[in-house]
Amino acid sequence: MYGVRCVMVRLFPVTRRLHELDALRGFAVCGIMLVNTWQHTREQLGDPGRNAVDWAIDNLLQSRFYPIFSFLFGLSFVLFLRSAAARTDHPRVVLLRRLAVLACFGLVHQLVNPGEVLLPYAIFGALVLLPASFLPRPGVPVLGLAVTAWAVHEGGGMKLIPGLFLLGMAVMEYPPPEWLLPPFFVVTAALAVGLGYLWIRTLDDFGLFYRGTYPAAGLAAAAAYCTGLLLLLRSRPRGALLAVLAPLGRMALTNYLASTAVILLALPLLTADPTRITGVLLATGVLALQVVLSRMWLARFRYGPLEWVWRRLTWMEPVPNRRIGSNA
């Protein structure tokens, strides 16, 4: 009985952390959906001017969620590599095949959504994360901090992806203690507000905006959002938050690609509204529907539709998906 209890004590924190990672990923899906809807609408409108919706999304959401996704991708890289090492003598070969399948998804997605992130993720994963898996453990966080600092200096954007991949990988190798969450949240939230204010005050300084202030503000806000959500997941609303966000995160690939199709089909409706409020309502409605559909799907299947395809092609073998007892 003592042995069983010890095993449960060890497994529970791991299980809790995996649920929290799903919730963080689902949270990022929500933000990316809102930002992508807004971006596609503005691109179609040409020069629509700026209103309150634009200000809120630009200062609170834009450049705040893809860093979360990038960080989690690096973290998941280590999880998958460890899992693959338990199944095969050549885990990096399997991982490279997983990245190749992701690149195929990205190539197809690029046809309808130029500038999407799946293809860069696959490329940076092969060129940065895979070689980094051979580095000594202390080298990963050092390299991650250096590459991220360089990317911020250079204006952020997709340049941030490799450094955030490495930082996610480093956090998986060196998990921070839980007591750091509250002070880290306070510091990053203060930085996000301060840097955001600095950006607003320096809009006329083109160089300062693009070469540091804006990406730094985005990273600080992303860190504050993540730690804030993790703190909530350790409090009373935990169950409700997990019920909403975790299914979105477990089917992140399916939901992300499906949201692109919805946005593109809805563009005539979105561009007809100069206030951009329709875009916010559409994104919110689609996300609510995706939560419901994801929960229904995962009650019957272990993986989302595209997640199952991705896993099936990665391992090149049958992957059972239907849950035992399901009539689906």
Per-residue pLDDT tens digits for 190-231: 999 999 888 877 766 655 556 788 899 999 999 999 999 999
Q: Based on the fold, state whether residues 295 and 313 are members of the same structural domain.
A: yes
Q: What is the pLDDT of residues 71-88, one digit of tens each?
A: 999 999 999 999 999 999
Q: Per-residue pLDDT averaged across 238-255, rounded?
A: 94
Max Cα distance, the chain (Å): 68
| Tokens read off for 109 | 């997605």
Q: What is the pLDDT of residues 150-181, one digit of tens each?
A: 999 988 889 999 999 999 999 988 988 989 99
Q: Based on the fold, state whether residues 78 and 58 are members of the same structural domain.
A: no
Q: Per-residue pLDDT averaged across 286-301, rounded?
A: 97
Q: Based on the fold, state whether residues 166 and 244 are members of the same structural domain.
A: no
Q: Based on the fold, state whether residues 169 and 90 are members of the same structural domain.
A: yes
Which H or E element spans position 72? Answer: helix 66-85
Q: Based on the fold, state whether residues 77 and 166 are members of the same structural domain.
A: yes
Q: What is the pLDDT of residue 165?
A: 97
On whether residue 101 sits in a domain, the answer given is yes
On whether residue 132 sits in a domain, the answer given is yes
On whether residue 3 sits in a domain, the answer given is no
Cα–Cα dist 111/296, whole Å: 30
On whether residue 306 sits in a domain, the answer given is yes
Question: Is the CA virtual torsion 130, 134, 138, 142 positive or negative?
Answer: negative
Domain around 101: 69-175
Cα–Cα dist 105/156, whole Å: 24
Pick from 234, 214, 233: which is nearest to 222 by CA? 214
Q: Based on the fold, state whether residues 80 and 171 are members of the same structural domain.
A: yes
| Tokens read off for 297 | 């799907």
For residue 273, which amino acid is it?
Answer: D
Q: What is the pLDDT of residue 36?
A: 95
Residue 322 gets which letter from DSSP? B
Q: Based on the fold, state whether residues 151 and 240 are members of the same structural domain.
A: no
Q: What is the pLDDT of residue 290?
A: 98
- Of 47-51, 115-119, 261-265, 312-316, the least confident: 47-51
Residue 13 has pLDDT above 70, yes or no: no
Q: What is the pLDDT of residues 82-140, one digit of tens each?
A: 999 999 999 999 999 999 999 999 999 999 988 889 999 999 999 999 999 999 989 99
With 0-12 / 13-18 / 19 or more C-beta atoms within 10 angstroms meaning exposed / middle / buried, residue 325 is exposed
Residue 11 has pLDDT above 60, yes or no: no
Q: Based on the fold, state whether residues 45 and 73 are members of the same structural domain.
A: no
Q: What is the pLDDT of residues 22-42, one digit of tens each?
A: 999 999 999 999 999 999 999
Mark which of 152, 175, 198 sits at the end of a domain: 175
On whether residue 103 sits in a domain, the answer given is yes
Residue 97 gets which letter from DSSP? H
Q: What is the pLDDT of residue 109?
A: 94
Cα–Cα dist 223/301, whole Å: 32
Q: How confident is the model at residue 324 (pLDDT cuts 50, 70, 90)?
A: confident
On whether residue 83 sits in a domain, the answer given is yes
Quickly list DSSP for 253-274: HHHHHHHHHHHHHHHHHHHT-T
Mark which of 175, 210, 245 sits at the end of a domain: 175
Q: pTM for this structure?
A: 0.90
Q: What is the pLDDT of residues 257-272, one digit of tens each?
A: 999 999 999 999 999 9
Mark which of 139, 156, 175 sits at the end of a domain: 175
Q: Based on the fold, state whether residues 253 and 287 are members of the same structural domain.
A: yes
Cα–Cα dist 213/22, whole Å: 30
**Which residues, in sequence order, are CB contacts of 327 under 8 Å at separation 6+?**
300
Q: How confident is the model at residue 65 (pLDDT cuts 50, 70, 90)?
A: very high
User: How many domains, in total, are found in the chain?
Assistant: 2
Q: Per-residue pLDDT averaged across 240-261, rounded?
A: 95
Residue 7 has pLDDT above 60, yes or no: no
Q: What is the pLDDT of residue 3?
A: 33
Q: Based on the fold, state whether residues 51 and 111 are members of the same structural domain.
A: no
Q: Based on the fold, state whether residues 167 and 73 are members of the same structural domain.
A: yes
Cα–Cα dist 35/59, whole Å: 11
On whether residue 148 sits in a domain, the answer given is yes
On whether residue 258 sits in a domain, the answer given is yes
Is 303 within 8 Å of 328 (Cβ atoms)? Answer: no
